[in-house]
Amino acid sequence: MESDLALEVPRFAPVERRNVYELVVENLIREIVAGRLRAGEVLPTERELTEAYRVGRSSVREALRILETRGLIQAAGRGAFSVSIGGDLFKTPLQMLLTLEQADLRELFEVRRILEAETASLAALRRDHGDISELGKWVERMERALGSSKDYVEADLRFHLAIGHATGNRMAGYLMNSIRQALQQTLMSIFLIPGSPERSLDQHRLILEAIAGGDAGEARRHMLEHLGRVEAEVEAAIQGSPAEVPTGGRVVRPPG
């Protein structure tokens, strides 16, 4: 049974078009988040931004208007703007924040633990036969795609999105989709770690079994174990050392 939500997407989706002013907005937010533009500091003039980014003045003006609307900058007189004191970065789109220097893998995994452990628990309590079928379908596809990073990662991603849908909570589904791009990039990196796809597949089966059995506690526990292992392996891969993987309260070293 296919999900009512748009879990399926065309294999060849349209390429996203970015307006120039959106790129200017993203670059200026990156400067603020990284601390290179500090609270109260006056931004470069329109002319300076136009020359620095090599874009039209209209694009710079639109970018500044958007940043002012979001409360990140404020008028400083004679057409100048300064970085707002106490500006709310969380008024910006979440996906944009995830591309910035301050939002690293550790933050993503913290969000995943907060979000996915509870969605797995709720899914176990609220799932129906269609949800179980949907989750099972993606686990089967993961197994068939162990030799293909693209197909495996797609199935892995769909499994996690389907859990959000199985909660029956639309906001949970929206939140899962909001981290979708960052999650997909992370899953692709994880696939390249020797043995990790097979270990993830085993853990996905346990999560599915707990959700299908209506065991909220086990669903939460297995999801946390899965996320903990993946985070440990990613961190170890970055550092170039074997991972110490937390499993069921113990610390074990994964097979090579």
Q: Provide the pLDDT for residue 129.
A: 96
Q: What are the start-end ranges of the E strands in the chain?
A: 73-77, 80-83, 245-247, 250-252
Cα(223)–Cα(116) distance, integer angstroms: 7
Tokens of 203: 């853990």
Total Cβ atoms within 10 A of residue 168: 15
Q: Provide the pLDDT for residue 234.
A: 80
Question: Which of 66, 90, 114 corresponds to the end of one domain?
Answer: 90
Is the alpha carbon torsion for 141, 144, 146, 151 positive or negative?
Answer: negative
Residue 70 lies in a domain: yes
Q: Provide the pLDDT for residue 209.
A: 98
Q: Provide the pLDDT for residue 29.
A: 83
When comparing pLDDT for 220 and 238, which is higher? 220
Whether 162 contacts 142, CB under 8 Å = no
Q: Provide the pLDDT for residue 187.
A: 82
When comparing pLDDT for 166 and 189, which is higher? 166
Q: Clarify whether residues 163 and 236 are in a common domain.
A: yes
Q: Clarify whether residues 140 and 218 are in a common domain.
A: yes
- Residue 254 pLDDT greater than 90, yes or no: no
Whether 222 contacts 210, CB under 8 Å = yes
> In which band, very low, low, confident or very high, does the pLDDT at 222 lie, cut at 50, 70 and 90?
very high
> In which band, very low, low, confident or very high, does the pLDDT at 240 lie, cut at 50, 70 and 90?
low
When comparing pLDDT for 226 and 98, which is higher? 226
Q: Clarify whether residues 69 and 110 are in a common domain.
A: no
Cα(82)–Cα(57) distance, integer angstroms: 18
Q: Clarify whether residues 108 and 36 are in a common domain.
A: no
> Average pLDDT in the 23-39 region?
82
Q: Clarify whether residues 225 and 193 are in a common domain.
A: yes
Domain at 216, CATH number: 1.20.120.530
> Average pLDDT in the 21-47 region?
86
> In which band, very low, low, confident or very high, does the pLDDT at 238 lie, cut at 50, 70 and 90?
low
Q: Clarify whether residues 66 and 163 are in a common domain.
A: no
Residue 50 lies in a domain: yes
At residue 19, what are phi and psi to the nearest 5 degrees?
A: -70, 150
- Residue 141 pLDDT greater than 90, yes or no: yes
Domain at 31, CATH number: 1.10.10.10
Residue range of the domain that includes 34 = 20-90
Residue 114 lies in a domain: yes
Question: Which of 68, 90, 112 corresponds to the end of one domain?
Answer: 90
Q: Clarify whether residues 143 and 239 are in a common domain.
A: yes
Q: Provide the pLDDT for residue 56.
A: 94
Is the alpha carbon torsion for 137, 8, 99, 88 positive or negative?
Answer: negative
> In which band, very low, low, confident or very high, does the pLDDT at 45 lie, cut at 50, 70 and 90?
very high
Q: Clarify whether residues 74 and 164 are in a common domain.
A: no
Q: For the chain, how big is the Rg over CA atoms in Å?
A: 22
The percent of residues in the chain predicted with pLDDT above 70, rounded, is 77
Mean pLDDT of the chain: 81
Q: Provide the pLDDT for residue 255.
A: 34
Residue 156 lies in a domain: yes
Q: Clarify whether residues 50 and 127 are in a common domain.
A: no
B/e letters for 3-33, b = 16+ CB within 10 Å, e = fewer, are beeebeeeeeeeeeeeebbbebbbebbbbbb
Number of domains within the chain: 2
Cα(208)–Cα(151) distance, integer angstroms: 19
When comparing pLDDT for 150 and 131, which is higher? 131
Whether 236 contacts 199, CB under 8 Å = no
Cα(229)–Cα(245) distance, integer angstroms: 5
Q: Clarify whether residues 82 and 189 are in a common domain.
A: no
In the DSSP assignment, the letter for residue 71 is T
Q: Provide the pLDDT for residue 18.
A: 67
